[in-house]
A and B are shown apart, each in its own frame.
Chain A
Amino acid sequence: MKTTGRVSGIVSNLVVVKADGPVSQNEICHVDLGDVKLMAEVIKVIGDAAYVQVFDSTRGLKIGDPVEFEGHMLGATLAPGILSRSYDGLQNDLEKMSGLFIERGTTTDPIDYDKLWEFKPLAKAGDKVSAGSWLGQVQEMWVAHKIMVPFVMTDTYTVKSVAAAGEYKVTDTVAVVTDAEGNDHNITMVQKWPVKQAIKAYTSKPRPSRVMETGVRAIDTFNPIADGGTGFIPGPFGAGKTVLQHAISKQAEADVIIMVACGERANEVVEIFAEFPHLDDPRTGHKLMERTTIICNTSNMPVAAREASVYTGMTIGEYYRAMGLKVLILADSTSRWAQALREMSNRLEELPGQDAFPMDLSAIISGFYARAGLVYLPNGESGSVTFLGTVSPAGGNLKEPVTESTKKAARCFYALSQGRADSKRYPAIDPIDSYSKYLEYPEVVEYLDGKVEKGWVEKVYKGKTLVQRGKEASEQINILGDDGVPVEYHERYYKSELLDFVILQQDAFDDIDANCPLERQKYVYNMVLDVCDRSFDFADFEECATFFKGLINLFRQMNYTEWQSEKFYDYEKQIKEYLSTKVKEN
């Protein structure tokens, strides 16, 4: 029998419930307001008082209102039909909601239970299987969606039967497996998993060794993110976090993209709704929307569901990873999630940590980032979850708790700088503060040797040094004046400007420049390095400045032309001729 209870206290969306039976931490319950039922999650228990966070407005809730506990944690529904959907933080399908406004207590099915799927068996009777083993597959968009032994089944089983190829609903039994005691278990195409727990249906989780191409030069060339890696993008407002994330979501080399719009602007999600169905995935030619699932809990939607949204996104990502796919999860912004934690911690009257955030913030964030990664599945295939979150530091100050905690957990750091944004140098990824730990992995260095060219990582470091030296030269020039330093300082500065304008800056709104394939990045980067290797003859600093401005202009024009087109090579030729006028013969 279900535990029930009655409301005994209300502070905003934190409700105290006197329960008449056992209650577990993170258990889901429903608060009955008469006309609607509101979902809530237990976040603290003291004696018979369960403190629950309600995922909706508690307006009109009264002391004594009945509550029913469900006996399970917040779960995601995992089945074919998730791709291209738009969910709220609790996996309600937003598209299926009828009204203009989301009335509270509205729930919709995350998948279509009536749809027929063309099932193909992969396993056969007698096979030994365990959680995550592939029993069959259906075609979901262009992804071969594997039907697996549910993750909650933790033993080893023997397949008794698998349904013949044909059309089935997600709730139809497609396989029967037998456990060690001889009990049969019917398996359908749909399963549930508690979102706050990691899906661990894999055999090993090695260090990532491949690079995920994003088409963004400042990332791919300078600080690449690994396939199965983690990264975060902190930056003050207006520095271009969202534009950068959208660019990555369009261009990244992934099979499945999950975008978690967590406590951010609704219009940004609308942009995805409006654009993605029309945009093509540059690699497969399919529509972008077909590989994308959106979890959308915008800033005006209930705060508690904001916290749930990142977990829902991660769980769906892990589900597709178990099918041997490359999944990229983008969350914008994890600071809003942390703030949701803060609001609840505050209402629970917990002793606060720094900036009133809960004490365990750091542990929660690292626990979450740890769910990403490259994994080997029991059948030898591999799958990955790459996670990239944005952080919105209060006042743009990177010393605040969310940024600091995330820095400990994520391996790539893409610091967006206000200074760069102010001078419209987009993407505003600071070339000096940002880093990718993956450049230090020997397996990644080796991978890039093969994928790009031998010694590539060395060239990357060379570029970084050039930027650093350019910055130092610019500081000297600012202190001593244009005339107070040798012309070489100007040359050094302008070489770093060349690298900045041609490689680091990229026009996210230009059809061609927005997405720069790695092959092109290599070509242009080598051209730029070649310029930087040369010495020039300049009479004075003005000549140096004019020369490099002209050169930068030519390179930028080239960036706007189609890769390997006639115009592209035409600009390359012009650049060579232009260089020959000033380059020192040696």
Chain B
Amino acid sequence: MATKAFQKIYTKIDNITKATVSLKATGVGNDELATVGGKLAQVVKINGENVILQVFAGTEGIATNSEVVFHGEPPKLNVSDELAGRFFNAYGEPIEGGAQPEGEPRVIGGPTVNPFKRIQPSELIATGIAGIDLNNTIVSGQKIPFFADPDQPYNAVMANVALRAKADKIILGGMGMTNDDFLYFKSVFENAGALDRIVSFVNTTENPPVERLLIPDMALTAAEYFAADKGEKVLVLLTDMTLYADALAIVSNRMVQIPSKDSMPGSLYSDLAKIYEKAVQLPNGGSITIIAVTTLSGGDITHAVPDNTGYITEGQLFLRNDSDTGKVIIDPFRSLSRLKQLVIGKKTREDHPQVMNACVRLYADAANAKTKLENGFDLSDYDERTLKFAHDYSEKLLAIDVNIEITQMLDIAWSLFAKYFTASEVAIKQELVEKYWPTVA
């Protein structure tokens, strides 16, 4: 970043920690950017003359006499249509060569959309995956994370969802992503011929962790430009938000803040909410939908990161390896899309809500039967049938490799009901049973 003329240069740093430096300076604004020994930093605390800066790339090699220059403004991104098809680092600099895009410089992490101006989301995003479309329908303007263990194929599922979602722009915010995963995303998008719709901001594992803190704001500033200024449907992919939270914890720790649960900063909820709440349906038809990944450790959702995320996002999608069918499925019990009520049975066929619930209820009965079996008890005839149903349901509907239309999913569900159960066992409204129960099973 070029420095401007007539800027005061400070050369005496008082304290250096792994992520922060402090020095005496005057006329410094809160949140403003600075360059410390050639590295980008941001003001995080001011106490009289004492200014504490968070150095994004880490403080390795910074000396007490390194040059410090204040930029007088917070981090910005140049927004224009030139962003499309480009790959950037956390500072919004192109990483694959090419010129810095021209455009209007916009402060990142800007103000909130007035809730009163928001429009209620009502447009279904079809992904072809029944575990999502049937059970946990996603709606434009929604924010929803995948809760997955690190070994699960969440990036692949996410890329699939992104490509099928028919978005005008896909914005990838990669935090602590391995270079391999980054190249995977790139090649998937390239093969799909979608590169011109993609904007990427990527911090790989090769980059310093604290830089990640800029990624969501960069990605969402670009998203807001396309959605609010251009009226486009924007899909933002954020992976992996757990690594983002880890970076928050590092900075808070260096600033000697009292940690709350799981060593996370006390402000974790607000910090995550600021990002996720950028998801919006705007009156001009533009929208921002956020699909994120929160990796879990050993499936533990009570950890502060997934826990706070769950309270912020509009549902969550759980991936699970199903030992019965040997497939990765979207767990129907723990997954949830809070906005599905806005579209199911309205934008989809009328029987959608009841069919969905009946499937899950029967699947739960199967889980109980399985427990019985494991405990060495005899199974009733009904138990046997639920187990068979569960196997088919898992294979034909829950598996992530399914790619069909929603009406087809509903028809499959009815055919499974008819194959294994009586109408009273399925317990769906009589009118619907009369209309949709397959006459020939």
Contact = CB atoms under 8 A, between A and B. Distances in A.
Given A61-B30, A94-B115, A238-B310, A560 B339 contact: no
Given A60-B31, A63-B26, A100 B282 contact: yes
Interface string B348-391: 00000100010011001000000110011110111000000000
A270 B115 CA distance: 7
Given A271-B120, A343-B267, A300 B380 contact: no
Contacts of B304: 394-395
B113 A266 contact: yes
Contact of B302 (A238, A343, A346, A395): A395
Interface in A252-306: 263, 265-267, 269-271, 273-274, 296, 298-301, 303
B185 interface: no
B230 interface: no
B182 interface: no
Given A342-B266, A509-B353, A267 B307 contact: no
B46 A10 contact: yes
Greatest chain B CB density within 10 A among A58, A300, A352, A546 is at A300
B29 A60 contact: yes
B139 to A, nearest CB: 9
Contacts of B113: 100-102, 266
A336 interface: yes
A260 to B, nearest CB: 13
Interface stretch (A68-76, A213-221, A371-379, A550-558): A550-558
Interface in A326-356: 333, 336, 339, 342-343, 346, 349, 352, 355-356
B114 A101 contact: yes
Contacts of B315: 238
B153 interface: no
A394 B304 CA distance: 7
B273 A299 contact: yes
Contact of B260 (A57, A58, A266, A356): A356
A356 to B, nearest CB: 4
Given A58-B30, A61-B30, A392 B429 contact: no
A422 B331 CA distance: 11
Contacts of B115: 86, 94, 266, 269-270, 273, 296, 298
A491 to B, nearest CB: 16
Nearest to A266: B115
Contact of B424 (A11, A103, A422, A549): A549
Interface residues of A, number: 76
Contacts of A356: 258-261, 266
A47 interface: no
A482 interface: yes
Interface in B13-65: 26-32, 44-49
B425 interface: yes
B336 interface: yes
B391 to A, nearest CB: 20
A483 B266 CA distance: 52
A156 interface: no
B380 A545 contact: yes
Interface in A64-104: 86, 94-95, 97, 99-104
B101 interface: no
Interface residues of B, number: 84
A541 B112 CA distance: 59
Contact of A59 (B74, B112, B341): B74
Contact of B378 (A352, A394, A481): A481
A487 to B, nearest CB: 13
Interface string B247-270: 000000000011111000011011
Nearest to B43: A10
B168 interface: no
A548 to B, nearest CB: 11
Given A94-B114, A299-B277, A394-B261, A424 B361 contact: yes
A11 B252 CA distance: 12
B193 interface: no
B228 A423 contact: no
B307 A394 contact: yes
A545 B28 contact: no
A484 B282 CA distance: 60
Nearest to B357: A424
Contacts of A336: 269
Contacts of A343: 266-267, 270
A534 B430 CA distance: 27
Nearest to A297: B115
Nearest to B277: A300
Nearest to B47: A9
Interface in A358-415: 392, 394-397
B341 A509 contact: yes
B98 interface: no
Interface string A550-581: 10110011001000000000000000000000
B378 A266 contact: no
Nearest to A7: B46
A269 B316 CA distance: 20
A107 interface: no
Interface in B84-143: 107, 110-121, 141-142
B312 interface: yes
A454 interface: no
B184 interface: no
Interface in B327-343: 333-334, 336, 338-339, 341
A489 interface: no
B311 interface: yes
A354 B193 CA distance: 53
Nearest to B270: A303
A553 B302 contact: no
A418 B19 CA distance: 40
A449 B364 CA distance: 40
Contacts of B266: 339, 342-343, 346, 356
A301 B113 CA distance: 9
12 contacts: A62-B29, A100-B282, A237-B307, A237-B310, A263-B273, A267-B120, A267-B142, A270-B120, A296-B115, A300-B278, A346-B267, A423-B361
List the 9 closest pairs (A to B, CB-CB), nearest first. Answer: A395-B302, A299-B273, A300-B277, A237-B310, A356-B260, A481-B377, A94-B116, A274-B120, A59-B31
Given A100-B283, A270-B115, A270-B119, 14 more contacts: A60-B29, A60-B30, A97-B116, A266-B277, A267-B141, A270-B120, A270-B121, A274-B119, A343-B267, A346-B267, A395-B302, A422-B333, A422-B364, A557-B429
Interface of A: 8-12, 16, 57-63, 86, 94-95, 97, 99-104, 236-238, 263, 265-267, 269-271, 273-274, 296, 298-301, 303, 333, 336, 339, 342-343, 346, 349, 352, 355-356, 392, 394-397, 422-424, 478, 481-484, 509, 541-542, 545-546, 549-550, 552-553, 556-557, 560
